[in-house]
Copies of this chain bind each other. A is one copy, B any other.
């Protein structure tokens, strides 16, 4: 009985995936190809498909199938049971919201998003204040509808990082404050690294070729994906065998493309490594945004900004751009690409200061949801925290509180996953070095295939079978521990900055 129910569950999930992936194709095309006049029709096409997808996932018959499988699924195997458990949880969560709430949220997000665009354009926070205040009230309402233990923010975190809690994040970000603020400040007192060679003229077509080479080298499968150009680099997928990345190229900034390429490549390697046979099922999907980000950050930073990696690739790079690099030594290059300097803008930040950007957003989000911070005070709160943690003065709200899109989309609980990504990455990479003793030598020789195999085996193949906490314990023997990130940066920057 439950086997035939499982079959009907499977068919509905795959149908749902077909529509969701179709939306992803339309969205990818929008970012990569869409002619300007095509935007209005594309919006309505995506909206219609979204409505259809929602109906496929939330319909009552499907709910009954799930309930029946949850109650009488004893003959299912572990993987099937886990799929039912996760889908049932997703189903329950989405069905807590009535149509009225969903409509109100959707309208308010649209209003807030447009207010944010205008506020940023005009550098005038007051335009954003009222809709954002209403949106935060609605997010508090959303948390109440979902329900939570201990803190309403936990309810919102669940959407992006299932299992994450304020209790854990408080510990983590306290460590960031206590250990990383001082560490970064010590580096800022050292003499500045000159990396102006990164901002010479690098021809676009040669950058593109180099990026493709790097993607191939780290194991990205171009028969199961492609790279294109878009304004903001991103990774998307329409199955585990069609995973696409995008990049952008700045002729006067070599780093812009290179590390976005490796970062998106890391996301893509994860998606290409998910179980192909579990199309549409939780066990065919990524664990959480934090784990997804761990894969991009591991390749971008732990590998892609390391000396061993560039020992292998720098000669090719010098050959491609002799006019800029023939007189720049590998060591100078390595130091240059790891220059630490505080920056107002999160997306342009170095890998240390980055976490202060996230810390600040975490503290503010928590404050907004527990009502200890008011939207109208945001610019003031923001600027004070940037002064305290990064030591920088914020000259205007455009480069301050208005810089990120997330809040205007109602995404509260998203930012912490960025830092979680780096911290998981450090912990995973430390474990990989233990498990594969000569991994660094392999990377120096331009061969990261065993690292990828390790990631496939330890992380990718499981899909959502384990949640982030369990996965971390299973892979590394302990829960997420900030120590690994501090070990990583200590070891790395003591050489670079002679600490």
Mark A residues whose CB is within 8 Å of B. 14-15, 18-19, 21-22, 25-26, 29, 33-38, 40-42, 44-45, 47-49, 52, 221-226, 238-239, 241-242, 279
Contacts and interface: CB of A to CB of B under 8 A. Distances in A.
A241 B41 contact: yes
A61 to B, nearest CB: 15
A238 B41 contact: yes
A164 B316 CA distance: 64
Contacts of A45: 18, 21-22, 25, 238
B35 A225 contact: yes
B44 A238 contact: no
A13 to B, nearest CB: 12
A452 to B, nearest CB: 17
A224 B19 contact: no
Contacts of A19: 48-49, 52
Interface centre among A40, A224, A241, by most chain B C-beta atoms within 10 angstroms, is A241
A318 B224 CA distance: 42
Contact of A239 (B41, B48, B221): B41
Given A35-B222, A35-B223, A18 B242 contact: no
A224 B44 contact: no
Contact of A42 (B33, B226, B238): B238
A220 to B, nearest CB: 11
A149 to B, nearest CB: 39
Contact of A241 (B38, B49, B52): B38
In order of increasing CB-CB distance, the 5 nearest A-B pairs are: A38-B242, A41-B239, A18-B48, A37-B241, A37-B224
A38 B279 contact: no
Contacts of A29: 25, 29
A177 to B, nearest CB: 45
A15 B40 CA distance: 14
Contacts of A38: 224-225, 238-239, 241-242
